[in-house]
Structure 1
Amino acid sequence: MLSKQDNAQQKGTRSQGISSKGPRTIALVGPFQSGKTTLLEAILARTGAIARQGSVEAGNTVGDASKEARHHKMSVETTFATTEFMGDTYTFVDCPGSIEFIHDMRCVLPAVDAAVVVCEADEKKVPQLQLILRELEDRQIPRFLFLNKIDKADKRVRETVRLLQPASRVPLLLRQIPIWNGDIVSGFVDLALERAHVYREYAASEVIELAGENRDREKEARFTMLEKLADHDDELLEQLLGDMEPPRDKVFDDLAKELRDGAVCPVLLGVASRSNGVLRLLKALRHEAPGIADTAKRLGAKAGDATAIVLKTFHTAHGGKMSVARVLNGEVAEGATFLAPRRDAGRVSGVFGLMGQAFSRRGPATAGETVAFGKLDGAKTGDTLSAGKHATEPLVTITPSPPVLAMAVEAKERKDDVKLGVAFTKLTEEDPSLTVIHNTESHEVVMWGQGEMHLRVATERLADRYGVPVLTHRPAVGYHETIRKAITIRGRHKKQSGGHGQFGDVLIDIKPLPREGGFKFNDMVTGGVVPRNYIPAVEEGVKDGLKHGPLGFPVVDVEVSLTDGSYHTVDSSDMAFRTAGRIAIADGLPQCQPVLLEPVYMVEIVCPNDATARINAILSGRRGHILGFDTRENWDGWDTVRAQMAEAEIGDLIVEVRSATAGVGSFSFKFDHMAELTGRQAEQVVAARRAAE
């Protein structure tokens, strides 16, 4: 809670900070395990939204409240929490830091007013930081960097900022410098306010006299800050050149403007676990972060009917579907009807406030507020909703990253098959970066995701949230087979069992086609030896036989010609000739020198350039044919490696790639061609197939 001293101090700081910019939404983002959930907890405790600050270790935080998050001690989905600070309403969004769950962050970012990037003084996390900052830069989101765990820093803060700077396209602007007591950070100096503060655990910091060494360090660091601000303000530059002290309000105005314009990224210090630096962060957000008017303008939202953007979809046990949305303009009350682009979104069954996993019914939502709308069955994450007579064109486009890992999934109990289908629908609504497909060739249901943990959490949710325990295994590889030799073979089906019998007799030529030739069937019958009405049945029988070749896989790149045959006026039928065609192809293929084919893909891996050598070694160890590598376009310090790789080797490739790149590498792939697989590897594949059958 704010003390009386803090309130009085704040009122005397800047008159222009008194006016509200409306309810604001702030994203808490940053590398994995940087302390975002802890910072959210500290903010909620400091603003009085919760009685006391919990911890991730104790499993009692507002964020990471799901069973999966607490089990793995990591954020696996966004958490929304609304609170008030000095009369203004804020919704903070705790976003996952792992690249596997980054899509949740992407869905939120377009509609937030600003972001707080939580980071440690750890050079190893620079690539992760770069990923996060790139998302913010591309979306033009104003951002602060909160240098967390400053009490554990082993470098001077300006050296730390220099190490982190390569992750940002714009200058990291140091707003505070630490006060050192030996090797311990005991407080900070605010360079904008020119005040020194000493940390108090779980309490507001105490203002102390700025004197001695701290005064000298403050003057030097403040001048550096003002120099960077002056790069975008000629008036400030003239004042600095003339040795004039700029007015404090002028400095704050420049800080707010250059933050809003994305010209700088201010850096603040703190220790979220002890609530140090949280109050100064809140005050910086209050004074300098833009409001809903700026955000609506950035998105191109026009005044008029109520408009909202869906940030996240939840399926709750008792409240049904909940669509968390940011209202950009207008007012939305219970009973309001929304349109989404090209479909109805539904009628709002209730408006709910947000506090972690708790939803509380409330009154109408106004512009700037982030709330949950009940039972908008037609709404999807990312939708632009309009309460008018006509749907609004989408204000944002959010495309999930290409999936990188798959698992085949089936219900543990056969009776749950239908229930599993319903659960998949809800699961992919909540997390659009998951994809579920039915492989008609292997008869498997395959779930694709962004990594090992992503898929693990998805299967845990199927069991825990939707009551469908599942079995998983590695999906089948799309092996095919083809032939090298041409032959002529007869297929004859004759059966007599009283009454009408069955008779079909065909002579076919089987020969190989060039790669990617597919399947070709020729009717070369003359003299009516096989009546015309039976020829399609012969072709269907041949296709039946090609579904499962002598090696156990579908047969491709084959041409079959029907050249001769015979029939019986009474016993012949479509079924008899279909069976004859299947017999001919089944008997002929083993004599055609069958050979196994495996799918080969073009793979493109992106990674920090200090990991490129490791990536090349991984590819070589997986039978990859490296085609080359180049610098990643517009990404300083990153490379793109291109290679051809067999599908069988791609299966768990992402696990090794992430391990070699400190969790930030990724890849995309697309089918290129089928290639012959021979020798011991082919023998192992065929043996495994026969064992499975």
Structure 2
Amino acid sequence: MPGKTFQETIPSGRETGEGAGNQDIAGRHGPRCIALTGPFGSGKTTLLEAILARTGAIPRQGTVAAGNMTGDASAEARAHGMSVEANFAETTYLGDRFSFIDCPGSIEFLAEMEGVLPGVDMAIVVAEDDERKLPALQLILKALEAQNIPRMLFLNKIDREARGVRAVLDTLQPASAVPLVLRQLPIWEDGRAVGFIDLALERAHVYHEKEESTRIDMSDHDRVRELEARYTMLETLADHDDDLMEALLEDIAPDPGQVFGDLVREMQDGLICPVFFGSAEHGNGVGRLLKALRHEAPSVAHTRKRAGLGDEPRVQEVLKTLHTPHGGKLSITRVLSGTVADGDVLTDPRGAENRVSGVFSLLGQQVSKRGPAQEGELVGLGRLDNLMTGDCLSGKAQPSSGARSYPYPVLALSVRAGRRQDDVRLSAALAKLTEEDPSLIVRQSQDSGEMILEGQGEMHLRVAQEKLTGKFGLVIETGSPAIPYAETIRGSTQVRARHKKQSGGHGQFGDVALEISSQDRGEGVAFSDRITGGVVPKQYIASVREGVLEALQKGPLGFQVVDVAVCLTDGSYHSVDSSDQAFRMAAIQAMREGLEACKPVLLEPVLKVTIQCPTDVTARVNAIVSARRGQLLGFDARQGWEGWDEVQALIPQAETFDLIIELRSASAGVASYSASFDHMAEVNGKAADQVLSRTGGQAAA
């Protein structure tokens, strides 16, 4: 039974302070891996620093202001004062080994968090009493829920709270699909949280700055508060435990082991999200959180089962790829089963064998060589050049694939080397960037030939540019990607053109008559002929078609011509001077003359856009769409997302370049969208004039 197991593991009277514990169970669960998640600015990196200082992994706790923290040590993170990539650190607490992954909180780097989740045992969600960050918290929790990650919530900055924690929980609860279960109560003194009451252990503790708390006697007033809050906690647990429900109904005090067992089981099964609190900056609540992780975090066996890996004897999951300045490529890997050592051969999902060149431990930017990695450990594996983030490796052929999907890119830049000699270096650097961060996409535009870098927002692409210039030492130039405009015709005409040239010897002669007419939008280009009597020999008709298609590549307005039908109706030839080249040139001349007379009109691509946003900003989103020449198709509640809407609209592609910047500004940084090509539409008036003035074309009359 869960209660019996927990009693055996955590005997009563086991601790005298926040950080004390029994050594007899040290290491029972094996190394565990914990993700630190939460909205931007909630204090995740500070919490990691406090944990590392409390456990002795670092000599003292650094601060964001001083720029001396273990996490966020990259130049880009410190320049912007925010996490821009996952940070890794390992430590030991009372004999148990833990790896922590500090994940960025901005939606622009959310893929960093989602990428490491398959290899973690559970997550700590760091939050604060800020209603403006509720949608961002919901994004984080939804990502965890989607991958069935067990989670605890750490309510940070308790020293700044202006209201009770239960009121805060009422605010935060809509962001979570499962109940937020309060595990502690603050002890207040002069409006300041000076300690906490553990609702599971029914004990009170007082904080000490960046040190272990000590146990104190509970006041009569706090005892009343504790009984009320504890009963609420038990009621929630009883929703999944009939025996506990029966005990509560009969007013029987439940067995402590049963309570602890339910807390562990229901958290690990994703039925509840326990809530702890403290102040990462001051080190308050950190010891109690570590104690909970030590006794309640799932083991790697639970994670294997969650991933459907069963009892495979040897499996490693590549969570992230790094390119280090001196050590080359480093694959950050969670050992889900078995061991891995220097020189081992691992099989990737494509069936290729890869030899490990060094096993490394991780502490922020510090990478040091170590011995073999055991089951449950998070390590770096050196120089596995063929591996990709998401690969699931094994010691046998054909392991399961770790293929992942990444969010739709919402912002794009054209990128080119500032120095011609750097073209090859730029391509190599972009390849490494996308290896490190697969949510960055690099593609070559088929229309303009530009190199396009796509990402999750303004900061995401800014950091990528800073890495290109700082980490890779490149000079780059960026701009807005070209819009694939096109043109078509409104009218029709008949035109005849003759290409004739005599310059001694054989000359050139080709004569064609063409009918040019418009087609319905999206029908493309059609070529046909009505030649009779051999006035244009059959062997030259293909050359006429070739000339027609060549002329359509650039019409009178300067763009590719689409949705046009061309028919070869008549012509003539010379038995000596006619040739494929002559008929091709005649067709080009006829098309250029004919298209000018057919009332050319500019076309632009229109995208079907789905915008996800909090309901309270839907009206502002609608206004943004309308201001960008968009057509609103409607909106509805976002399925499975309380307090969110989805807005459907048609928006010209030219108006979507910086759309995400305005959407994020209107939604506290959480709105996003996806888009797909819908149709080509005519552009008239001022909008057409602006496009043609930039490209050197002339508006149609």
Q: Same fold (TM over 0.5)?
A: yes
**Residue 118 (structure 1) aligned to one of 115, 126, 137:** 126
Report the CA distance between 1:570 and its aligned residue.
4.2
Aligned to 2:461: 455
**Residue 655 (structure 2) aligned to one of 630, 634, 649:** 649
Report the CA distance between 1:505 and its aligned residue.
2.8
Greater shift after overlay, 257-266 or 532-541? 532-541
Aligned to 1:464: 470
| 2:483 pairs with 1:492 | no
Amino acid at match of 1:509: E
Q: Distance in 2 between matches of 1:653 and 1:517?
A: 30
**Residue 623 (structure 1) aligned to one of 615, 619, 629:** 629
Structure 2 counterparts to residues 599-614 of structure 1, below 5 A: 599-614=605-620
Contact 1:106 1:398 in 2 (8 A): no
| 2:300 pairs with 1:259 | no
Report the CA distance between 1:551 and its aligned residue.
0.9
Q: Deviations over 1:640-674 (max 9, x none)?
A: 11111111111111111111111111111111111
**Residue 393 (structure 1) aligned to one of 386, 400, 406:** 400
Structure 2 counterparts to residues 335-484 of structure 1, below 5 A: 335-344=343-352, 346-388=354-396, 390-394=397-401, 396-484=402-490
Report the CA distance between 1:496 and its aligned residue.
4.0
Report the CA distance between 1:67 and its aligned residue.
1.1
Greater shift after overlay, 549-558 or 6-15? 6-15
Q: Deviations over 1:492-540 (max 9, x none)?
A: 3333445544433322221111111111111333333333333222222
**Residue 37 (structure 2) aligned to one of 29, 37, 40:** 29
Report the CA distance between 1:8 and its aligned residue.
6.6
Q: Distance in 2 between matches of 1:646 and 1:139?
A: 35
SS at match of 1:268: strand
| 2:195 pairs with 1:195 | no
Closer/same/farther in 2, CA of residues 321 and 678 from structure 1, 3 Å limit: same
**Residue 674 (structure 2) aligned to one of 662, 665, 668:** 668
Amino acid at match of 1:421: S
Report the CA distance between 1:13 and its aligned residue.
6.0
Aligned to 1:275: 283
Aligned to 1:150: 158
Contact 2:487 2:601 in 1 (8 A): yes
Report the CA distance between 1:362 and its aligned residue.
0.9
**Residue 516 (structure 1) aligned to one of 522, 532, 546:** 522
Amino acid at match of 1:220: E
Contact 1:345 1:379 in 2 (8 A): no
Amino acid at match of 1:140: N
Aligned to 1:52: 60
Amino acid at match of 2:375: A
Contact 2:544 2:583 in 1 (8 A): yes
Contact 1:103 1:433 in 2 (8 A): yes
Aligned to 1:285: 293
Aligned to 1:167: 175
Report the CA distance between 1:554 and its aligned residue.
0.8
Aligned to 2:8: none
Greater shift after overlay, 485-494 or 616-625? 485-494
**Residue 342 (structure 2) aligned to one of 309, 334, 337:** 334
Structure 2 counterparts to residues 199-348 of structure 1, below 5 A: 199-344=207-352, 346-348=354-356
Report the CA distance between 1:578 and its aligned residue.
2.2
Amino acid at match of 1:201: E
Report the CA distance between 1:685 and its aligned residue.
1.1
Report the CA distance between 1:606 and its aligned residue.
1.1
Closer/same/farther in 2, CA of residues 144 and 113 from structure 1, 3 Å limit: same
Report the CA distance between 1:251 and its aligned residue.
2.1
SS at match of 2:650: strand
Structure 2 counterparts to residues 172-187 of structure 1, below 5 A: 172-187=180-195
Q: Deviations over 1:80-134 (max 9, x none)?
A: 1111111111110000101111011111112211100000111111111111111
Contact 1:345 1:377 in 2 (8 A): no
Q: Distance in 2 between matches of 1:76 and 1:381?
A: 17
Q: Deviations over 1:423-470 (max 9, x none)?
A: 121111111111111112112111111111111111111112222221
Q: Distance in 2 between matches of 1:665 and 1:12?
A: 44
**Residue 137 (structure 2) aligned to one of 117, 129, 133:** 129
Q: Distance in 2 between matches of 1:302 and 1:349?
A: 28
Amino acid at match of 1:79: N
| 2:46 pairs with 1:38 | yes
Contact 1:345 1:378 in 2 (8 A): no
Contact 1:17 1:287 in 2 (8 A): no
Contact 2:430 2:442 in 1 (8 A): yes
Amino acid at match of 1:183: G
Contact 2:19 2:213 in 1 (8 A): no
| 2:701 pairs with 1:684 | no
Closer/same/farther in 2, CA of residues 464 and 503 from structure 1, 3 Å limit: farther
Aligned to 2:80: 72
Aligned to 2:601: 595
Q: Distance in 1 between matches of 2:379 and 2:229?
A: 41
Report the CA distance between 1:241 and its aligned residue.
3.1
Q: Distance in 2 between matches of 1:459 and 1:279?
A: 40
Report the CA distance between 1:382 and its aligned residue.
1.1
Greater shift after overlay, 510-519 or 225-234? 225-234
Report the CA distance between 1:154 and its aligned residue.
1.5
Amino acid at match of 1:229: L
Contact 1:632 1:640 in 2 (8 A): yes
SS at match of 1:673: strand
Report the CA distance between 1:17 and its aligned residue.
5.1
Q: Deviations over 1:547-588 (max 9, x none)?
A: 111111110001112223333444443333322222221222
Amino acid at match of 2:88: F
Q: Distance in 1 between matches of 2:508 and 2:371?
A: 76
Report the CA distance between 1:15 and its aligned residue.
8.8
Report the CA distance between 1:385 and its aligned residue.
0.9
Q: Distance in 1 between matches of 2:651 and 2:609?
A: 7
Report the CA distance between 1:72 and its aligned residue.
0.9
Long gaps (5+) in structure 2: 1-12
Q: Deviations over 1:230-260 (max 9, x none)?
A: 2222222233333333333332222111111
SS at match of 1:274: coil
Q: Deviations over 1:42-63 (max 9, x none)?
A: 1111111111111122221111
Closer/same/farther in 2, CA of residues 496 and 64 from structure 1, 3 Å limit: farther
Closer/same/farther in 2, CA of residues 500 and 232 from structure 1, 3 Å limit: same
Q: Distance in 1 between matches of 2:344 and 2:633?
A: 56
Long gaps (5+) in structure 1: none
Closer/same/farther in 2, CA of residues 463 and 7 from structure 1, 3 Å limit: farther
SS at match of 2:694: helix
Contact 2:321 2:436 in 1 (8 A): yes
Contact 1:353 1:372 in 2 (8 A): yes
SS at match of 1:263: coil
SS at match of 1:685: helix
The percentage of aligned residue pairs carrying the same residue is 56
Contact 1:53 1:61 in 2 (8 A): yes
SS at match of 2:139: helix
Report the CA distance between 1:323 and its aligned residue.
0.8
Q: Deviations over 1:594-632 (max 9, x none)?
A: 011111111111111111111111111111111111111
Greater shift after overlay, 232-241 or 371-380? 232-241
TM-score, structure 2 length as denominator?
Answer: 0.94
